[in-house]
Structure 1
Amino acid sequence: MGIIPKDSFFVVKVANVKYFKRQLRNFAFIHYVLRLSQLQVSEISPELMHLYVMQEANLVAIANNKALSYGNCPDCRSQRTSAAWCKICDISNLKGKFYSWTSGNSMIDEFIQYTQLNANDSTDYLEWIDFNQFDLVENTNKRGAFSSIYSAIWMEGPSWNLDEEAEVWTRNGPIKVILKRLDNSQNINQEFVNQLYRYYKCLQSGSLADYFGMTKDPTSCYMFVMRYYENGNLYSYLDESMGVLCWRDIVDMLWAISAGLNFIHERDLIHGNLHGGNILVENEMDSIDTKIADTGIHGHVDKQTSYKQIYGVIPFVAPEIFNGYTLTKESDIYSFGMIMWMLSAGVRPYCDRPHDSQLIQEICSGTRPNIVSGTPPVFARLMLQCLDADSSNRPTASQLYECLGNWVTAICDDPDPSELSNQFDIAEEIKFSNLEQLHFNILPCHEKAIYYSRPLNFSEPFLYGKM
């Protein structure tokens, strides 16, 4: 391994990786890559760790609160905006390759080119990837209302490796990815592409699931190429863990999810389909990484969306949506509240009953899942606020992010006990003293409890009456 240029990394003393990653969020680091060379984790001193960091926009150095300098481009001498990335020269190189690829659809070509012409670093854009670059393509038998999910090996891989001597990013080599196949996308329409323009920054944010680019399968359906998350989505993660999560991990996971939701809402966008299947999970050393997926890429791709048509997973859909209101930031917060409940309970909401018009009627009438015994009071209050029938009483994503960040500091990082940390300590003791009595998701879900997004075509008049 060559010597890393000083302008491509900084060194900071940290107690552990999990604490440092929380500080990254505190200082609004938008995108970062933790590189630990060829060393094993056990070989790295916890007091001194080299972290090579890339940013999407203004990256702040922890040591002195000054913006990091990435030096000047050796070709044009302009200031780099990220490690080994010159906005002028690298974008020019990407533009020079436009002639060498095509998706077969001018709207898709122009969209991908737009992301490249507006990139701020080496991961801040989408690329067109020929389908022959993928090996071992397999149907995962998972799907949503408008897409199906495949896994594959991308033989070239993303440009993740830094060649320190040449100061350029090189291909990673074979890497497992997810291919999200868009139904009927042979006839993709302008409305869907316009939606991609509005949301494309959400496809590369470090707070959300990573998207590498697009491809097209042999049937001419378009597919998004996503990072593969080893532990799957939140549903499968709870299944694997038998629903037993410690409260510290629950709060840390929710903080990460709130960071992604806040990123979306700060840009005056909404997710509109937030549920456990769209939260991707991966264990990273001593922390659990959770990212929101499917931001802005759900909906019909071949025809206009009907604003009267409801799609989603019933337990996560806000009651006002069933009453004819449009999706809002507040309806996203309701979905977040249901994710809070799911993590606290260790089971999927309403898993013991059919997801039908009767459940919708009860939700619209005020029914919510029972708070699990032993839940910290402060957690229960915030969750119920998110699930409030009056959407104006729900917190904002920014408030959630700030509140959960304070919780993380109090219960994970601050060595001094507080009333807040005591609540979670007591809840932890209650949970793990009653493990034998906790059934969690050992029992199967009801056969008509459906946890993937689908059209909710119920016509009963109570759905659209006043709440």
Structure 2
Amino acid sequence: MSFNSGNKNVNDMIIASKNNRKNAKDFLKWIESSRLKVLHELDRGAFGVVHKVRWYKRNYTDTVAVKFFHDDREFLREFTNIHRMIKRCSSEDDTISEKNLVHYYGATYDYDNEEYGIVMEYYSQSSLSNYLYKKWKKIYWEERLKILRDISYALYILHDQDLVHGDLHSGNIMIDDDKDDPNIAWIGDLGFCREEENEKKYDGFRGVMAFMAPEILKELPYSKKADIYSFGCIMYHVSTNRAPFYERAHNRRLMRQISEGLKPTIYQDDEIPSCFESLMHQCWNFNPKNRPNACTLYNKFCDWIDDDERFEDVKWDTIKPVKKSDYHRETNYMSQTWIF
């Protein structure tokens, strides 16, 4: 073995990933920190900090993102989930990235701060949340539909392998409109990705409350249809440029209200096509069994992109997002662990 991560489980996963790879790109490597130069911070969450990093390879440099973890156990949990996701979702014909899932290069260790890190693809526009806020004047309906098409396709890939994302929200959808690529959106933060639950395994839940399905807040098992509910919240954000429940404190009261069926507010002057709004409400159906599946969503967005007459009257109009000062001071769109 030409490397040593300092953790036997990590070593074993990296070796297995390389030996069992299905194409030339989708496998995990050990990347020495001496080849990485941190440029600046991109994002900060409850479980770690994401930095923009320059990676010095043999003959060239590359720009990547690295998530460094405060807790070794959290790193191992997420790295294990990513290893499983790549093993199941990668194929000989298509890479993970071509399936609208963020590409992961491998792991590293920062000896100065004594933190493990996961190295992944860098996306120029960062998250969907940032993209909507910064470029709302330039985002028309055709592009909104393409973003949702890409997300629904990635969800289909995960669900087809009996995996759930487990923490789907606008902050972990990566956007890059600079690539020479027909795709624009990729699902990231796949460290929570896991097998669909048949029974509740943990006390509490992890994620962003405002994007969580009612049944999860009732401590029921996490299913594919919980991801679909979260997708409906992303549809809301994409169509209104308002994060769900921006005007409310994200506390136990909101948790209870969502569990009882409260949905994000749609105002009368929101320019949302009726067909789009109807699909969004289907994703929010209180009964998970009545929500559409990811394949149905993907096909619907493909149809709308090919025949967008119903969006003709509104696709050149944009909705100005609320100011950050309009957000309730107790909103929290950072993934975290909630204990009941």
Do they fold alike, i.e. is TM over 0.5? yes
2:190 partner SS: coil
The equivalent of 2:255 in structure 1 is: 360
Q: Would you say 1:347 and 2:242 are equivalent positions?
A: yes
Greater mean alpha carbon deviation, residues 321-330 or residues 215-224: 215-224
Task: For residue 225 of structure 1, report the CA deviation from its aligned partner.
Answer: 0.4
The equivalent of 1:290 in structure 2 is: 185
Q: Which residues of structure 2 form unaligned runs of 5+?
A: 195-199
The equivalent of 1:200 in structure 2 is: 86
Match of 1:405 among 302, 318, 324: 302
Within-5 A mapping of 1:36-55: none
Aligned partner letter, 1:440:
P
Moved over 4 A (4+): 186-189, 191-194, 285-288
Identity of aligned pairs, percent?
A: 30
Contact 2:18 2:28 in 1 (8 A): yes
The equivalent of 2:314 in structure 1 is: 427
Contact 2:85 2:193 in 1 (8 A): no
The equivalent of 1:154 in structure 2 is: 55
1:101 partner SS: coil
Contact 2:204 2:219 in 1 (8 A): no
1:216 partner SS: strand
Task: For residue 405 of structure 1, report the CA deviation from its aligned partner.
Answer: 1.4
TM-score by length of 1: 0.64
User: 1:172 and 1:144 mapped to 2: Cα distance?
Assistant: 33
The equivalent of 1:315 in structure 2 is: 210
The equivalent of 1:231 in structure 2 is: 125
Task: For residue 260 of structure 1, report the CA deviation from its aligned partner.
Answer: 0.7
Cα 1:453–1:410 change in 2 (3 A) is: same
Contact 2:144 2:239 in 1 (8 A): yes
Aligned partner letter, 2:323:
I
Cα 1:187–1:240 change in 2 (3 A) is: closer
Larger radius of gyration: 1
Match of 1:143 among 44, 48, 59: 44
The equivalent of 2:275 in structure 1 is: 378
User: 2:129 and 2:182 mapped to 1: Cα distance?
Assistant: 18
The equivalent of 1:19 in structure 2 is: none
* Structure with bigger RCO (C-alpha 8 Å, 6+ apart): 2
User: 2:164 and 2:46 mapped to 1: Cα distance?
Assistant: 18
Contact 2:150 2:183 in 1 (8 A): no
The number of equivalent residue pairs is 323
Match of 1:452 among 310, 326, 334: 334
User: 2:261 and 2:171 mapped to 1: Cα distance?
Assistant: 24
User: 1:107 and 1:248 mapped to 2: Cα distance?
Assistant: 45
TM-score by length of 2: 0.87
Task: For residue 439 of structure 1, report the CA deviation from its aligned partner.
Answer: 4.0
Q: Would you say 1:441 and 2:287 are equivalent positions?
A: no
Cα 1:406–1:122 change in 2 (3 A) is: same
Q: Which residues of structure 1 form unaligned runs of 5+?
A: 1-98, 157-170, 300-304, 412-420, 433-437, 460-467
1:111 partner SS: helix
Match of 2:106 among 210, 213, 225: 213
Task: For residue 245 of structure 1, report the CA deviation from its aligned partner.
Answer: 2.4
Aligned partner letter, 2:110:
D
The equivalent of 1:77 in structure 2 is: none
Aligned partner letter, 1:198:
R
Aligned partner letter, 2:8:
S
Q: Would you say 1:180 and 2:67 are equivalent positions?
A: yes
Contact 2:242 2:321 in 1 (8 A): yes
CA deviation string 1:335-355 (max 9, x = no partner): 000000000001211112211
CA deviation string 1:267-314 (max 9, x = no partner): 010000000111000113696611001224479xxxxx9612211111
User: 1:242 and 1:249 mapped to 2: Cα distance?
Assistant: 11
Task: For residue 216 of structure 1, report the CA deviation from its aligned partner.
Answer: 0.9
The equivalent of 1:392 in structure 2 is: 289
The equivalent of 1:103 in structure 2 is: 5
